[in-house]
Homo-oligomer: A and B are copies of this chain.
Amino acid sequence: MKKLINAPEDVITEALEGVAAAHPSLSVDVENKVITRAGGPTPGKVGLVSGGGAGHEPLHGGFVGYGMLDAACPGEVFTSPVPDQMLIATKAVNAGAGVLHVVKNYTGDVLNFQMAAELAQDEGIEVASVVTNDDVAVQDSLYTAGRRGVGATVFVEKIAGALAEEGADLSAVAAVAREVNERSRSFGVALSSCIVPAAGKPTFELGDSEVELGIGIHGEPGRTRADLSSARDLAAVALDAIRADMPVSGDLLVMVNGMGGTPLIELYLMFNEVNRYLEGHGGRIARSLVGNYITSLEMQGFSVTVCQLTDALTRLWDAPVDTPALRWGR
């Protein structure tokens, strides 16, 4: 295992110390593993909390800041955070208007956020939850009942975060978060495995010319293995799967996301193929992200997420954001 670490058991703590040193705009509780905005909660604003296993950076800690999340709590690598962390985060961002939990659909995350929500409610904090489940690849998988929550989570955090910043109430913020999830679909492809530091060996093995179609963000199995084909063919596999589940015509928000180990030049090349495909099926990419936003450590591969925009969602997408990983308009 070749990794830039000291000891596997210290990875998260030491990475959080690095986040704290790099970003004065964030407040990092290293002991409890909770990242919040440095300024404390914004009075009267709905608080947004997300979290999940580490190893998907910049998700979620890189999205804490103005116009997006108020707090993120990372677990160990690919391991759900515990309810206590989520409760600390929820209490830290509560400013009297309630708190939205943004939860990727993985069984551990869902159960723990549910428990945290109950604990917070016991303390008088109003909590709503939205569970993202945009991955069309598989119905059930190693870690998940139902569809997995992946790239749409980035869109949900950005758009619901923008609405919360405008002063909308908890039910409105939760509603737009659900709307974004319902209008979004994703599909991922792996060219290589990742290595969890504590395991020290690849999560799975792929042959020299094999790819895993429909991979999850922890390296859990996808739909099938296939021979590596062209970028054009891989874009078609991903978008055929998405299109079988949701129309892709009209104005779209599209993310071509790297899994962590794929060069940016290949992601732009893949974005070109995605654009070409969507144009051929009546879609128009009105907004986009190309880069590493929800990763699987050093896995090589990509995922594509498509969201059907409305004028209201486009306006919220364009609203100012100021986080380590997404920053514009402010």
- On A, residues with C-beta under 8 Å from B are 2-7, 11-12, 14-19, 21-22, 54-55, 57-58, 62, 77, 191-192, 208-209, 211, 228, 230-232, 234, 260-273, 275, 285, 288, 290, 292, 295, 297-298, 300-302, 322, 327-330
Contact = CB atoms under 8 A, between A and B. Distances in A.
A103 to B, nearest CB: 21
A269 B2 contact: no
Given A263-B297, A292-B292, A269 B4 contact: yes
B231 A269 contact: no
A22 B263 contact: no
- Interface of A, helix, strand, loop or mixed by DSSP: mixed
A14 B263 contact: no
A65 to B, nearest CB: 11
A30 to B, nearest CB: 10
A315 to B, nearest CB: 17
Interface centre among A18, A57, A270 (most CB of B within 10 A): A18
A17 B19 CA distance: 34
Given A4-B302, A5-B230, A18 B270 contact: yes
10 contacts: A5-B231, A5-B266, A6-B232, A6-B269, A11-B269, A18-B267, A18-B271, A55-B265, A57-B265, A261-B263
A263 B322 CA distance: 22
Nearest to A6: B230
